Amino acid sequence: MFRVMFHEPRIPPNTGNAIRLVAGTGCELHLVGPLGFDLSEPKLKRAGLDYHDLASVTVHENLDTAWAAVEPARVFAFTAHATVSYADIAYEPGDVLLFGPEPTGLSQEVLADPHVTERLRIPMLPGRRSLNLSNAAALVTYEAWRQHGFRGAAL
């Protein structure tokens, strides 16, 4: 339904959590390299539990190959420096939800990429830098899915 994209992720458990997220929601996970870990990393496997076989995960060598795989699609890039809230968007199936690496977030170069439809933020209290990557991805994914009546879910 939606495509969660992690650009250059660095922390294996966050990616493992995202694997569980996409397995549970029917979304796709796109990992854009270079990755900060190997996919056989035990912490990634442990965080993903037994959901690895239930998840749609694609690894892309770089952002150009990722764009080629997901086009045409709207791309929403998440950054603490945006002014539009993630909650103000009407999400559509196929949208890409783009998140940056844990220590730094998305670079200015990625945020300025012409594939990015809009920059969005998740509201936080002043003085806070960011949410955990997998938590941010889950929050936005569930909002997008909620807008579509949790299509396919057992309610």
Helical (H) or strand (E) element with 136:
helix 133-146
Question: What is the distance between the alpha carbons of residues 22 and 34, in angstroms, rounded to a whole number?
Answer: 21
DSSP conformation class of 16: H
Distance CA 81, CA 93 (A): 25
What sign does the dihedral 59-65-69-75 (CA atoms) show? positive
Q: Which helix (H) or strand (E) holds 12?
A: helix 12-25
CA angle 83, 98, 24 (to 5 degrees): 120
Binding site for S-adenosyl-L-methionine, residues?
A: 100, 122, 130
Binding-site annotation, residues: 100, 122, 130
